[in-house]
Chain A
Amino acid sequence: MSFLRLFARNKGAVIGLVILGTVVAIAAAAPLLYPEDPWRSVGRPLLPPFENLRFPLGTDMLGRDIAAGIAHGARVSLLIGLVSTSVAVLIGVGLGAVAGFLGGRLDDLLMRFTEFFQTIPAFAMAILLVAIFTPSIASIILAIAVVSWPPVARLVRGEFLTLRSREFVQAAVVIGQSGPRIMFSQILPNAMSPIIVAGSLMVATAILTESSLSFLGLGDRNMMSWGFMIGAARTMLRDAWWMSVFPGLAILLTVLAINLVGEGLNDAMNPHLRGRRA
């Protein structure tokens, strides 16, 4: 059965894809929908939601439009989620492939290194990195990438280790293919689907981590983000519930959608596992 039909059979995955598509559309259209700076106050402070059509989700204590903040925040969340995951996947695939393919002492060394990074508390490490290198898009991406690559490295190493001993790879050695060629043309294509699935789920985790960092005040001061909005709303909980509820729902829906899509990918790419998960 084709990949698309397998994917479409999973109802959750399709719902996830629709939500995710909506979030991406909003992020792309944010400068058109809300051309003004989301940090500027544009209305009366603390306007409740659903009362004024210009501010459907209300305003915060400085009169900033919550809806505009959510639209612009989507850009930051998706950007950081995608870029930091890409960096982490690159590091993880590189180290994991080398360790799994070459084996021996180098493998031991790289895996001790990976285990070390997996042991130390990830979020505390991310906080420390962003704090010491001062909060900015770059330092946040770096911090998230640094704490998220170890699982990828272990996954890729495991895949390479199993695939390396598979007969078709041995056959490639016997017909005289070179090491790098075997890695790229024989093993990597067969390791791709778990990497793609893990990567898609990591985007979700990265978005959660980014929002947690900006909630603690470690966000980029130049960019509106969902975590920052909730952090700012913390002291206003009693008076303006909408300030924290809507950005939170935005995070929840986005992360949920990505997880659903990731699981759909997993089911579609590894049909033999379906029985276990469905």
Chain B
Amino acid sequence: MPTDAPLLQVEGLHIPLPGGSERTYAVEDASYTLANGEILCLVGESGSGKSMTANAIMGLLPEHLTPTRGRILFRGRDLLTLSEAELSRERGRSIAMIFQEPLSALNPLMRIGDQIAEVLEVHGEGDRATRERRVAELLDFVGLPDPALLRDAYPFRLSGGQRQRVMIAMALALEPAILVADEPTTALDVTTQAQILELIRRIQRAKGMGVLFITHDFGVVADIADRVAVMEKGRVVEQGRAADVLDRPRHPYTRRLIAAVPHREDAATKAPPSGPSLLEVRNLSKTYRPGGGLFTRPRVVRALDDVSFTLRRGETLGVVGESGSGKSTLGRCILKLLSADAGEIRFQGRDIVPLSPRQFRPLRRHLQMVFQDPFASLNPRQTVGRILSDGPRANGVSATAAVARARELLELVGLDASAIDRYPGEFSGGQRQRIGIARALALDPSLLVADESVSALDVSVQAQVLELLKELQVRLDIGIIFITHDLRVAAQICDRIAVMQNGRIVESGTPAQVFDAPEHAYTRRLVDAIPGLHWDPRAAVA
């Protein structure tokens, strides 16, 4: 075995897609190398084939996807030629893998300790007692509290971040040469993400492993990568040292992606909004009592705890927080999709909290919403024309007028008028989100609540939709409440940002204030956890 050979070498890999797909190849002529002791980030948008190459390395592709050409050399041995039995001897021992969804990646009916010990057991390592000691060691090493107790727990007891730590412990059990991490932090909150990234860095250095890290987020790349390979539609379009690719991207696709990374606008570009007050929220509270049965005491979750703020016409207020912070509940209470327990929501001076659904219905057209999921937010069985005209029709507009308006709206959001007779299934995620925005605008609202409206979109599409929202706001002079988990996105589009934690607004101010001089400890933690904080994408493509 030549000593200077890279640890892992993917050469000319081709994975064809089954017939009837848009592309012939999911992965086409992909080549990259991973050296000992380095972190290689494989970055790309959805459908770029980045996860698929990772699964090919592990031999974990589904049956209908089989590599047809190329080699995957691990220490000089082609993994694609190994039998299933030979491969499973390497899996877990030489190459380990962690996945995107820590919630579903663990067997729900097996104790944590047993799941970790199983790696050792199937590879014939040690006896029961030594395995148990090793499990405790591993749990401790990945920073989980009280390993002795945790060993006997079932996965449902653990948080997402803790489960991802368990997955990492499992992957480390036999000290493999390579760790493949497939979007391991995408499903996690930003502060948890920062901790897991740090953990991966730490163990990589301690064990000298090669890490293949797959992500869609250039911020994460900036934080963790030694080298980067960029994938587009199944091809590797650019690779090199992290500093080179991030700060001096050469390929136009890489440049486009980096330009689309959400970033802070310069504070000077926009005058502070000074329109009349549109919405005043005073001391709003909402409490959930889940799990209250005949024999159980209900838990109490304060989803909103004494929330107050004011929104002006023409202003965008960002509501930022992690999961469970109450930010979505706030949006839903303002639209009366949920009823608040206490407090006031004054819309154009009138408190809407005490209104009955019937009383509120005539007011609804002034308060509209853009939803998160471009796939779930449009009725799959209605044409776009129907989706756009339903709102005006429900508010007394004639059918012909509503359809005419629908055409105007499509143009307004940058879609072709021919879309009107088609069904949502025929559009891409970004196009669907435009349709969702057109639906909200169909009623000429003065307030728009956008709940994570760009978080399901790829970064380049995300940038376009953000641009559209910004442009429409200026043109239509509406107030927007922009709910997001991503501080970077909020900083790009919002005039003011309110940071929420446990149902309370802990801090609010302009993006500059929040970023540069956070007052609350939680805001500081949130800002510090932003991936790629010290990397300026604008400088790279300037």
A/B touching: CB–CB < 8 A: yes
> Chain A interface (Cβ within 8 Å of chain B)?
166-168, 170-178, 181, 185-186, 189-190
In the complex, what residues of A have CB within 8 A of residue B381's CB? 189-190
B376 touches A174 (CB 8 A): no
Report the minimal beta-carbon distance from A127 to chain B, rounded to whole angstroms.
Answer: 35
A167 touches B380 (CB 8 A): no
A177 to B439, CA, bound (A): 13
Query: A171-B439, A174-B369, A175-B365 are known contacts; what are 14 more A-B pairs with Cβ within 8 Å?
Result: A166-B376, A167-B376, A167-B377, A168-B379, A170-B371, A175-B442, A176-B361, A176-B364, A176-B391, A178-B361, A185-B390, A186-B379, A189-B379, A189-B381
A172 touches B337 (CB 8 A): no
User: Does B478 have its Cβ within 8 Å of any Cβ on chain A?
Assistant: no
Given A175-B439, A177-B390, A178-B394, A190 contacting B380 (CB threshold 8 A): yes
In the complex, what residues of A have CB within 8 A of residue B390's CB? 172, 175, 177, 185
Given A186-B379, A190-B379, A190-B380, A170 contacting B337 (CB threshold 8 A): yes
Closest to A174 in B: B369
Please, could you name 10 A-B residue pairs with CB atoms under 8 Å apart, sorted by A? A167-B373, A168-B376, A170-B337, A170-B371, A176-B361, A176-B364, A176-B391, A177-B394, A178-B394, A189-B379
In the complex, what residues of A have CB within 8 A of residue B442's CB? 175
A168 to B386, CA, bound (A): 13
A175 touches B379 (CB 8 A): no
> Chain B interface (Cβ within 8 Å of chain A)?
335, 337, 361-362, 364-365, 367-369, 371-373, 376-381, 390-391, 394-395, 436, 439-440, 442-443
Report the minimal beta-carbon distance from A207 to chain B, rounded to whole angstroms.
Answer: 31
A171 touches B371 (CB 8 A): yes
A176 touches B395 (CB 8 A): yes
For chain A, what secondary structure do more than half of its interface residues adopt (helix, strand, loop), or is it mixed? helix
Report the minimal beta-carbon distance from B488 to chain A, rounded to whole angstroms.
Answer: 24
A5 to B399, CA, bound (A): 35
Report the minimal beta-carbon distance from A55 to chain B, rounded to whole angstroms.
Answer: 53
Report the minimal beta-carbon distance from B349 to chain A, rounded to whole angstroms.
Answer: 21
Closest to B64 in A: A275
B378 touches A170 (CB 8 A): no
A221 to B184, CA, bound (A): 69
In the complex, what residues of B have CB within 8 A of residue A186's CB? 379
B364 touches A168 (CB 8 A): no
Report the minimal beta-carbon distance from A109 to chain B, rounded to whole angstroms.
Answer: 14
A175 touches B443 (CB 8 A): yes
A167 touches B372 (CB 8 A): yes
**Most chain B Cβ neighbours within 10 Å, of A166, A167, A178, A185:** A167
Closest to B62 in A: A275
B371 touches A175 (CB 8 A): no
A174 to B436, CA, bound (A): 12
**Most chain B Cβ neighbours within 10 Å, of A170, A171, A185, A189:** A171
In the complex, what residues of B have CB within 8 A of residue A166's CB? 376
